[in-house]
Amino acid sequence: MKITLALVAALASTVSAQVPSDSAIRAILTTRVDAGRFAGVVVGVVGKDGTRRTVAYGPNAGVQPFDATTVFEIGSITKTFTTAILADMVARGEVSLSDPVAKLLPPGTVVPSRDGREITLLDLATQSSGLPSLPSNFAPKDQANPWADYSAQQLYDFLKSHQLSRGIGERYEYSNVGLGLLGFALAQRAGMSYEDLVSARVLRPLKMADTRVTLTPALQRRLAPGHHPSGGIAKNWDLTTLAGAGALRSTVNDMLTYIRANADSTSQPLGATLAMTHGMRHAAGSPAVTIGLGWHRLRTPAGNWIVWHNGGTGGYRSFTGYSEKTGEGIVVLTNTANGVDDIGFHLLDPSFPLQPLPKKRTEIALPEATLERYVGTFELAPTFAIAITRDGAQLFLQATGQARFPLFAEKEDEFFLKVVDAQVTFTKDSAGVVTGLVLHQNGAHQPARKKP
């Protein structure tokens, strides 16, 4: 459920244009699906006048029909529904953005504070609470469905024990646990489950009947099976306690309804409420990017603003956004865990280039004795490390607070992951002893030294 702003640096033009034709979109999708990047992908476009068009391509997507009614996990786009609930509750006078989140939780709940300042609902909604991306006691029993067993008691235990490493509101730091906590707290305040709350405040008013946390049998039949980047079937994710961070499933049709309602502040019944979530409220890690309540705002060189969010689970990726200049909205959903952000940004503004398809990599077998040399802990930062472990002839990589993934050899000292487009190069001293590694991902090359 992690967001990336890497595409921001790729802006190179001041051109602004309308969304390309269906044939141009289909060419983009066909190239990627046929290259094995996606099992299938659906793009929806909605104009300022509400006119819709959909392009889908997925001959081997695993479900029929594969179209605007196909169901996908939308991951972190759920966070914008959580902040929509927040805006609605503020508009009704039920809560205030300045309320400490502790006020909404059961009496006696301890929430970390710093320098006499408490974490507020606004801090959580603007990703500036100081909470980390993942809770420190996140230890899933099933790595393929990692959030299913994270309990409310574990959340309370984490909050009680966590020490903030920086001031509240000091800087943007994308936090799944922060937005999950916001959804949990709002549900506590309303006295209902997160699913019932989001249905009452957002889904039913917008008539988004195909968007749910728990799928009906009919929706389950329309669910596209998720896929790992390597092509294998991925388990669906079930978020319970932290549902507000990424639990929703939806369709392109429903998401077009949602993004159109967000793009038009005059729309009924929620346009004015949703508009509260879009305004600039905090810097967000790049000179061109700010954040409102959940939604990110990107300023293009031409002076246009794109309001957007993306999402990802074990077998899905998603993007939605709209252009404030043209009023056009985009939805991109795929049932493969490979990013679609470049497609979404490119369709909203052609000055964003489409990313080249990643190089095809072929794994080789290395002797277990050779693999053993790479085992160890490699420190990228004082609080973030990569653990390399071995089970027989298979190496595994596990970053701090994240799941463990297989690591495959391409050459001696050069390895790659299949679950994401990332590679690892091990470094050695003059005697051939492994002393560190370099993680290659999203155009960055991050060195890490091996701990003794």
Q: Do domains 6-348 and 368-450 have the same CATH topology?
A: no
DSSP secondary structure code for residue 443 in this structure: T
Interatomic CA distance for residues 144 and 440, integer angstroms: 24
pTM of this structure = 0.85
Q: What's the confidence (pLDDT) of residue 10? A: 37
Residue in 1, 34, 39, 28 with CA at minimum distance from that of residue 224: 39
Task: Please tell me the total number of residues recorded for the chain in this structure.
Answer: 452
Q: Are 306 and 296 in contact (CB under 8 A)?
A: no
Domain ranges, ordered by start, for the chain = 6-348, 368-450
Q: What's the confidence (pLDDT) of residue 381? A: 82
Per-residue pLDDT of the chain (452 residues; tens, 9 = 90+): 444 444 443 333 333 457 889 999 999 999 999 999 999 999 999 999 999 999 999 999 999 999 999 999 999 999 999 999 999 999 999 999 999 999 999 999 999 999 999 999 999 999 999 999 999 999 899 989 999 999 999 999 999 999 999 999 999 999 999 999 999 999 999 999 999 999 999 999 999 999 999 999 999 999 999 999 878 899 999 999 999 999 999 999 999 999 999 999 999 999 999 999 999 999 998 889 999 999 999 998 888 999 999 999 999 999 999 999 999 999 999 999 999 999 999 999 988 999 888 788 889 999 999 999 999 999 988 878 999 999 999 999 998 877 788 999 999 999 999 877 889 999 999 999 999 999 998 778 999 999 99
Q: Residue 342: which H helix or E strand, with range?
A: helix 341-348
> What is the domain class of 6-348 according to CATH?
alpha beta
- Cα 160 to chain centroid, rounded: 26
Residue in 442, 403, 336 with CA at minimum distance from that of residue 32: 336
Tokens representing residue 2 in the block: 């992690």
Positive or negative torsion for Cα 134, 138, 144, 149: negative
Orientation angle between helical segments 152-161 and 176-190, nearest 10 degrees: 120
Residue in 30, 67, 19, 58 with CA at minimum distance from that of residue 254: 67
Q: What is the DSSP string of 142-166?
A: -TTSTTTT--HHHHHHHHHH---SS
Interatomic CA distance for residues 381 and 448, integer angstroms: 8
Tokens representing residue 329 in the block: 């909205």
Distances (CA, A) of 8 to 66, 100, 346, 350: 31, 33, 11, 13
Residue in 253, 295, 303 with CA at minimum distance from that of residue 278: 295
| CATH T-level assignment (fold) for domain 368-450 | Lipocalin (2.40.128)
DSSP secondary structure code for residue 121 in this structure: H
Positive or negative torsion for Cα 265, 266, 271, 273: positive
